[in-house]
């Protein structure tokens, strides 16, 4: 028994370092593919130079200032869901969020954020944090859907000729869907997840599902409110990027259009190498009714990706590379 423990203790650091090197290589490849090999890089540089030379540069500055605020709100939301069963400092919660961004950058639909956040949680509490991260993600998706629903109603009513019956029917169905989602969310502690026992990974998740019973209505209200705040922040960032690049839109058109884009993006789980391209194509379709500045639209999408994901991912990568799991694994073995 002792020999097997010692062997696992010796192998664990090697496996961890191999995973860290793999993450480093994947992040490097994604950045190389999306930035260095980007065929639109000349257009991006030209548009950025044009924006910086004018008086619109202030929009870019405000957009960048909102980036850390966005992730602070997310860390507060996630920490709210962790605190009922484990104390975690604001600093460690922030580190976990950045680590999750780094891992999420190289995975489809940023699913890797779940694993990245686990790195800052020790021992058995790691699996407990999976339901917490899931609830946080559900709350954010509900905000995306609500915002997208409102934006789509405004966008279609003001800028598209939609059949009245189709518009009303779609409005009612959308509202019913949102009501059902909110009802499920606020009753998440009552969900029966025994069906997950069909799969090995499901048994692990269901084992920690009791965490959900700790989330009462005040906690879920706060989490959903923070999700709405995050949604407003990154919608504002997108609008600021459009204004920085000289794309002239009314505030109503800008925010309603952005909400539709985010709604469409959230339903497309693409590989990392295609996500930026897909986002740009969706944006071009939406904004083409207002402007012919395709270059500016693509740059706005690319610039927001760099500000909100690439910069934090690089910080998160440094956090992941410096995480020491040896002490926590040794503590687990001693217990």
Instruction: Reply yes or no on whether the pLDDT at 202 is more than 70.
Output: no
Q: How far apart are CA 48 and CA 128, in angstroms?
A: 44
- At 261-306, the pLDDT tens digits run 988 887 666 555 556 666 777 888 888 888 878 778 888 888 898 8
pLDDT recorded at residue 7: 35
pTM for the model stands at: 0.84
- At 118-157, the pLDDT tens digits run 887 876 677 778 888 889 999 999 999 999 999 999 998 9
Q: What is the largest CA-CA distance in the chain?
A: 74
Neighbours of 333 (CB within 10 A): 12
> 189: domain range?
2-334
Using alpha carbons, list the distances in angstroms from residue 225 to 88, 136, 217, 219: 21, 11, 12, 10
Tell me 54's DSSP state: S
Instruction: Reply yes or no on whether the pLDDT at 201 is more than 80.
Output: no
217-244 helix and 164-186 helix, angle to the nearest 10 degrees? 130
Provide, rounded to the nearest whole percent, the portion of the chain with pLDDT above 90: 36
pLDDT recorded at residue 329: 42
- The domain tally of the chain equals 1
pLDDT band for position 9 (cuts 50, 70, 90) = very low
pLDDT recorded at residue 50: 74
- At 235-264, the pLDDT tens digits run 999 999 999 988 888 999 999 999 999 888
272-287 helix and 294-305 helix, angle to the nearest 10 degrees? 140
């Amino acid at each position: 028994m002792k020999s097997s423990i010692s062997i696992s203790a010796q192998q664990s650091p090697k496996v961890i370092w191999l995973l860290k090197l793999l993450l480093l290589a994947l992040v490097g490849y994604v950045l190389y593919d999306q930035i260095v090999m980007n065929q639109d890089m000349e257009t991006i540089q030209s548009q950025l130079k044009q924006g910086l030379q004018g008086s619109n540069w202030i929009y870019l500055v405000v957009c960048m200032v909102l980036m850390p605020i966005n992730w602070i709100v997310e860390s507060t939301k996630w920490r709210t869901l962790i605190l009922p069963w484990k104390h975690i400092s604001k600093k460690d919660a922030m580190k976990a969020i950045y680590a999750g961004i780094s891992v999420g950058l190289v995975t489809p639909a940023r699913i890797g954020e779940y694993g990245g956040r686990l790195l800052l949680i020790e021992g058995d509490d790691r699996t407990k944090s999976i339901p917490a991260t899931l609830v946080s993600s559900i709350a954010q998706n509900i905000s995306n859907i609500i915002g997208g629903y409102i934006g789509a109603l405004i966008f279609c009513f003001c800028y598209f000729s939609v059949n009245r019956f189709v518009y009303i029917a779609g409005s009612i169905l959308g509202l019913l869907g949102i009501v059902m989602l909110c009802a499920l969310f606020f009753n998440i502690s009552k969900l029966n997840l025994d069906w997950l026992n069909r799969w090995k990974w499901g048994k692990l998740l269901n084992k920690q599902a009791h965490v959900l019973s700790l989330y009462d209505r005040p906690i879920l209200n706060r989490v959903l409110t923070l999700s709405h705040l995050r949604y407003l922040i990154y919608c504002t960032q997108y609008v600021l990027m459009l204004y920085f690049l000289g794309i002239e839109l009314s505030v109503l058109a800008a925010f309603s259009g952005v909400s539709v884009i985010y709604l469409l993006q959230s339903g497309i789980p693409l590989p990392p190498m295609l996500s930026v391209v897909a986002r740009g194509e969706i944006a071009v379709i939406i904004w083409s009714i207002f402007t012919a500045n395709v270059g500016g639209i693509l740059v706005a999408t690319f610039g927001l990706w760099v500000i909100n994901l690439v910069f934090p991912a690089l910080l998160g990568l440094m956090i992941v590379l410096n995480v020491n799991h040896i002490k926590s694994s040794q503590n687990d073995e001693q217990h």
